[in-house]
Amino acid sequence: MTENAKHWTHLDSEGQAKMVDVSDKAPTWREARARGQVRMAKETLERILEGTVAKGNVFNTARLAGIMAAKKTWDLIPLCHPLPLASVEVFLQPEPELPGVRIEARTKTFDRTGVEMEAMVAVTHAALTIYDMCKALDRSMVLENIRLTHKSGGRSGTFEAEEAPNLS
């Protein structure tokens, strides 16, 4: 094990992966926001906005997929803690200049660990759902710029990325 690895929170003394013990932390309100986008052909975005995608309402389905995925983050990402989510919101904004769809997710909990992964999983799964629903029209879509834009609560305080205004 390297000297640096001794300070990694997800490794035990033997260098093996482990879940971080958060039992000594006090629960606090925690919030996270993440963003991403799906770049696509102009015609694909037009079909989404017209409501003529064969698989149905793309925005409603992607929003629901994002919410459902956030609730399962602990099942999808190794070593994530299961969290009682107080709130998950997913916002989708068509952007003709991309062309594509911008996605933002907001997650909240009152617990011992943060909800950053839940917000990023929500964005990612909403984006994947858009791809899945529209792939018959456009296999060249690109999921991009998925990132954390805000987190608050807990010992490390607040993080705010330099960013454009919120979608909500």
19 in a labelled binding site: no
Euclidean distance between CA atoms 13 and 123, whole angstroms: 34
Among 33, 38, 107, 36, CA closest to 67: 107
40 in a labelled binding site: no
Euclidean distance between CA atoms 140 and 5, whole angstroms: 40
In degrees, rounded to 5, the angle at the alpha carbon of residue 88 between the alpha carbons of residues 86 and 94 is 165
116 in a labelled binding site: no
80 in a labelled binding site: yes
Q: Is position 132 annotated as part of the catalytic site? A: yes
7 in a labelled binding site: no
Residues with catalytic roles: 132
In the annotated binding site, the residues are 79-81, 117-118
